[in-house]
Structures are given as structure tokens and as C-alpha cells.
Amino acid sequence: MALIALTAAALFAAVNRSFKKFLLSTAVALIVTSIQWIPAIRYYQEASREQPSSEFVYEKTLLPWSQISQLTAPNYLGNPATGNFRGQANFVETTAYSGIAILGFSLIGLISQIRQISQIKKFAVFILLLIFVLVLPNPVSLLIGKLNIPIFSTSVASRWLILWPLATVLLAAAGINRFIEQTTSNTAKKARPFLERPGLYLPLAIICFLIGSLWIAAFMTSPEFRSVSVRNLIIPTGIAGLFITTLLLENQKRSLLAAARRLLVPTIALVTLTELILFGHKTVNYTEKDFIYPSTPVIEKLQELSADYSRFASTPGSTIETNFATYYGLYDLSGYDALYPRRVGELVWTAQNNGQPVTDFSRSTVVTPTNPTTARNNLWNLTGVRWIINKDDLLSRHPGQRSNDLSPDFKLIWEQGKWQIYENTSAFPRAFFTADLPTSLTALTTPIYLTSLTPAKITKYLPNSVEIEIDAPQNGYVILTDTFYPGWKAAVDNQEVEIFPAFHAFRSVQVSPGKHTLEFNYRSL
């Protein structure tokens, strides 16, 4: 989204420049930023984002027209912090509120001097039109969803609202400049009073219309929601009143009111800042990290057990929240990211489907299979899931019991309160040697048996660098059950070698008999 906005800005800016200068500046910018956009393009190509998925259908993520109300009164439809949000989609993604004053000044900037529109205004208007076309139900947005256009058709429509603050702030800056010119310029004051200028008083009428419409709609809504909307209209209405008062007082000439006028603009700025801070704190509140990342006995035990880089998994009802394991230095198969390597998704979701290949899977979430199936157990064994955590509310009355979700191969090694940790005695090492190189997803459908499986020793493990030592009994492959991905380079005894995909999603290199030192290093360019 940001790339599209910046590209549009560059094109609008190029109108007032020579074409050669535009090409030169663009080339320099591309070279300087290549360290970011080249890996980003590669990541997108390798990710599951282009994979058709029923999880996100573009047409289903369009917002109803009524949800535009959040641009004027952010909590008009409620707030998840108070448990009464009744809008569609995610609240954070659909509330691009910038403040009443910003909205008012942006209207001034948009409407005033309409015949002498600048390139910045054109760019802001382009962004606004793009938002309304992509976010709300209309013939164009419905067509985009059916044409399968890269980036657009696979995006979540409501998230394009992230560009709203950019457009409104650009217009508001122009509006503030216009407001200052009209209130301080002697020439402007002699010409016509402030309120007699359509480009300056029309925004006042629009603000009144927006606030008034929301009040009418609030009283017409069902009783269960009425109090929420009415209560959350009070602050926006008060700030709108202050903004309108500023415009009205501009037309006054008495000294007392003139002195008051000088305080109104700073007051609006202070009130707007306070309003946005309060709104932001209610939406994204801050607290002590110990409340988010507590140190608990089960996590401390997992940290102790995972010193060999082995992974853990969870049974249903005992899952550690996605991505939290990274904070604790633990290794988990699950994860959430807007983009993740497609190979990993295909492997994990095939295991989730008991070994049957799938084409419709989550584009943003990798969920470790928890239902007890052969494919799940094979995946856990292959990926070095050595520790299984389980929560059982009956454990205090039946100590030492075994969960029905666990294989007989899992050995109970720790329990405290309602929590248990089992050891998967069939788990493979995180890195190992084998004479075979399975590359297909179908290997998950039956128990995995590898010829001459020999554990390898991981001597260094960093996000972008891994070192492994192995004493290979014969010709074969060293498999590291980390993601196979372009950009990783491998060397065996300081000699660069090719990386092969193993089990469709992992990295492997070919070695000869004897002792070897392997290095994996990631270089984005």
C-alpha cells in the first residue's frame, strides 16, 4: 500500500519536473532502497499470498457504507476495549480516525482555491478516490475481486484505509495555510469576510451535516446500541463545536474576541492532540510486559529443556499464543505473519489434513496440527518436536494421567498443577544426516524411516547464520529442518555448495563420508 502511494506521489511530482531529472532521481532512489524492495519482492513471490484462499475473499472484506461513520466519530459503533463494537472486520483496521479538526481543515484545503489545485492536492484526492473505490462496495471494487489482480485482489479491502490519514493530513496542511492567510492577510480581510467565501464556510456546513446525521442515526438505531452511539458522539461533537466557533469568531472585530481568536488555534491543536492520545490509549493500551509475557513454571521448564534447539508443540487447550515463543527463545512450528513461505504452509497444512495435499489454506497463519493423526505425528517427529505441553484440569485429582491426544511414544517427564510436559521419544534431531532425500509431501502419510540417520551437532544458531558439525557414515545429505528459502547460502568445509529442498520445505546439503563443518548464511542480496 505504501509503495503504491509513494509511486503515485512520484508521478504527480514528476509533472513539474523535467523528465530526465525525474528518471535520475527515481533511479537513485531505487538503488538506495534496493536492499529493502528486492528481498520484499522475492518474499512476496515465495509467500502464500497469491494462493487462492477462502480465508480472505476480497468481496467479503469490503466495508458497508455505514462504517464511514468511524472517520468522524471513531467509537460511534462501539469499541472492542469495552466489548461493544458492532462494526465489521477488525476495529483497528477500520478506524483511520485523524481527528475532527484535521477533517475540518482537510475540507478547507480540498474546497478552497479549487481552480488552482496543486500537485499535492491532486495526489491527496487520488488517494481518497482510491480508498473509496477499494474499501466500499461499488462496481469497481466488486470487479477487482473477480479479476484476480495481483496485490489488489488478494488484499483485505478494509486495510486500504491505512492511507486515509496520509491524504487528510496533506489536505489539512493546505487548509491550515489557507486559514492563516485569510485571518492574517490584510488584502484578504479587505476583500470579503471569511464566512462569505464558499471554500471556507462550506467545510463548516459539511461538519455540521456529518455530526447532525450521526446524531439522527444514533437516535434511530435500536435501543441496545443507542446509548453507545450517543455517548461516543459527545467528544466529537464538542470538538466540532470548538472548530466551528473558531471559524465564526474570525469574522468578529472586537479586541476581546480578537484576543480570544489568537488562542483558539493553539487550543484546537491541544484538544486534538489530547483526543487522539485518549483514543489511541483506549485502542492500543500499554501495560507492564510481565502481564503479556509472564514467567511461568511451564515456560521456564521448556526453556531449560530446549537448550539443544529442539521444538515444542501443544495439545488442544494448552497452546501458547502464536509468535509468543520467540520472545522466550523457544522454537515452535506455529506462527502468524502477513507473508510466510508457501512451502511451509503446504507442508504444515497437508499434515493438518492427515497427509492429503491442500490448495486452500491460510495465507497468514501456520497452525501446528494438534489432532492425533499419523501425519501429525510424522510432522512432529520430522521437525524435531521433542517436547509436548498439555493442560489437564483433572490432573490434580489424577496425577500422572496421560492425555487422550498424545501418542504412546510420548513420555511424561514433568507435571505441576494442571500442566504436563511430555517427551517425544521418536523426534528427529533438529539437524541430521541421512542417505535418503525425500522431497515430496506424501512422505507424511506413512511413518518416516530414513537410512543411516545420524544426529548432527548444531554449534551455532543465529537468525541469519547456522553452523553444524557432522560425521557422515556414507554419501548422503545433512538436513536442517529450517525453511528452504532463496537467499540462504551453504558451505561445506568452506566450499560453497547447493542447497536442496528436503521434505518439500526444509534445507539440505550433500556431503561425502567423514567429518564436516557446514555453514548456512542468509544474504538478502
- pLDDT value for 433: 94
105 and 234 inside one domain: yes
Domain stops at, among 424, 441, 457: 424
Q: CA 342: distance to chain centroid?
A: 17
90 and 136 inside one domain: yes
Q: What is the pTM of this model?
A: 0.70
65 and 158 inside one domain: yes
168 and 272 inside one domain: yes
Domain stops at, among 409, 424, 439: 424
Q: State the total domains in the chain.
A: 4
Contact 48, 363 (CB under 8 A): yes
- pLDDT value for 140: 85
Q: Is the dihedral of CA 200, 202, 203, 204 positive or negative?
A: positive
In sequence order, what are the beta bridge partners of 424?
410
- pLDDT value for 305: 92
**pLDDT tens for each residue of 131-149:** 888 888 888 888 877 777 7
Question: What's the longest Cα–Cα distance across the chain?
Answer: 97
Q: What is the mean pLDDT of the chain?
A: 80
User: CA–CA separation, 247 vs 105, rounded Å?
Assistant: 11
Rg (CA), the chain: 30
Which residue blocks in 253-404 are alpha helix, DSSP H?
255-283, 289-292, 297-305, 324-327, 342-352, 374-382
Who has greater pLDDT, 235 or 393? 235
Identify the domain containing residue 40 by its residue range: 1-47
User: CA–CA separation, 148 vs 131, rounded Å?
Assistant: 18
Amino acid letter, residue 320: I
- pLDDT value for 442: 66
207 and 304 inside one domain: no
In sequence order, what are the beta bridge partners of 366?
335
In sequence order, what are the beta bridge partners of 477?
434, 510
**pLDDT tens for each residue of 305-337:** 988 889 998 877 777 777 888 889 899 887 777
**pLDDT tens for each residue of 432-446:** 999 888 777 666 666
443 and 483 inside one domain: yes
- pLDDT value for 80: 84
b vs e for 361-394, b when ≥16 Cβ sit within 10 Å of the residue's Cβ? bbbbbbbbbbeebebbbbbbbbbbbbbbbbbbee
pLDDT of residue 191 exceeding 50? no
Mean per-residue pLDDT, 500-504: 89
Closest CA to 72 of 205, 192, 198, 232: 232
445 and 498 inside one domain: yes
Who has greater pLDDT, 16 or 176? 176
342 and 239 inside one domain: no
Domain stops at, among 424, 448, 463: 424
Other residues' Cβ atoms within 10 Å of the Cβ of residue 356: 14
User: CA–CA separation, 164 vs 132, rounded Å?
Assistant: 10
The pLDDT confidence band at residue 462, using thresholds 50, 70 and 90, is: very high
25 and 62 inside one domain: no
69 and 109 inside one domain: yes
345 and 490 inside one domain: no
pLDDT of residue 195 exceeding 50? no
Who has greater pLDDT, 158 or 402? 158
339 and 383 inside one domain: yes
**pLDDT tens for each residue of 2-48:** 555 555 555 555 555 566 776 787 788 888 888 888 888 888 888 77
